[in-house]
Structure 1
Amino acid sequence: MFAPSGWISLYEVFYLISAAFRERGRIGQYNFTGDENFEVTWLFIQETPEVAVCLPNGTVLPASRTLVLPEDHFDNLNEHIDLMIGTVGSAHSPRHQEVSISKEELRLRYGPFLHLPIIFQKKDFDEFFDELDKAPEHFLDSSRPTTEYSDSVKDLSPRRLAGEIVALFDSNALTKFDDVKRSLAPTHSVRQFRFAWNLARELRPAISRPGRKPAANKS
């Protein structure tokens, strides 16, 4: 897809990540088991500092991050986009009949920005991918989050760590982000652990965003 010099399209981000899994069967030390390409793409989107769209004349226009907020880290769709297409409004294409809406409604919703490619700084993607390629073993794993808590965590995948965070929250033992990271995954980068934290927030929305004081768990 199209992007000005120094930028990379969402379409290309998704397909570069998918190609790495397809060609090598893994990124870094962990294997591809089915939906990690979606998971890793959403992780990049959450962590990249800039989100923009590319106008037909090549102009870069900053875009709201709400356009790319994930709803399910293991799916290619959110409310507005399809990772496999990478353009504004692509979640509502005819291929997705359950969420498809009329062309007129799409034009009313997105105006002149409909179908514009979503783009990111290429240097941010290169840095992200380099770090991910060096991720510790089992950073991404096929197991889903569980709420079983163990003092000895060998599986450091975001899904399993999310379960550990949820368990701490449910037992009123969840402390600050930095303290939890130090306890559960001291070898992870902040970026890697923040992804697990965000997955836990999907299961327990009352968990605070990283950097904020954890919300009280009211029973």
Structure 2
Amino acid sequence: MTNRFLIVFQLLILQVFLFSCNSEKKEETAGKTDSTTIASKPPVAKKKTIVFFGNSLTAGYGLDDPTQGFAGLIQKRLDSLKMNYKVINAGVSGETTAGGNSRIDWLLKQPLDIFILELGGNDGLRGLPLSETRKNLQTMIDKVHTKYPDAKIVLAGMQIPPNMGQKYTSEFRTIYTDLAKKNSNVTLIPFLLEGVGGEPKLNLPDGIHPTAEGHKIVAENVWAVLKGLL
């Protein structure tokens, strides 16, 4: 009886020992699997930032949905191409170059990779001194470059109706080409409203701000230049 009890007791001890070993192996294997899984996960790349800094054109004035504006359409294009960029629409209706120059310091507190400057149109429509418009645009370009030397800068060229006289209109147009030539870090969009300006069907009744269809064309004008910088 005693021998039999001893044998049974020894078998129980053996089973407990084997069970313990198997449990340790499973835990060790699980730990390796978790470590491998964690290590194999690729790091999430931080999105690069594109800032559209402008007036009512950038803000999408008159549209039912601001994302129908050209800045919003650029974001949709980037998303459809699975490009890791975030668009910030910093457009303010009625903004002049002087107004932009006064608020840009606040905007530059956040990092950016591409800066698209769309200002000056309101200066021209109000007949403001061209020397001031030129000076303000250059100052904003300098501020961006000083704060973020590696950032790419795009200048959106603008034209105005000849209401202020042919001389003023012509000199206004050359501001943008001159600045692009002067600043090697600036890429020029020759005329932001190419194919849209002066086309009644593509503009709101005011004849200045594009419709949703007009913004699609403007977005293509921007993309033609922007895609080479991405």
TM-score w.r.t. length of structure 2: 0.19
When Rg is computed on C-alpha atoms for both structures, the one with the higher figure is 2
Whose helix proportion is higher, 1 or 2? Answer: 2
TM-score w.r.t. length of structure 1: 0.20
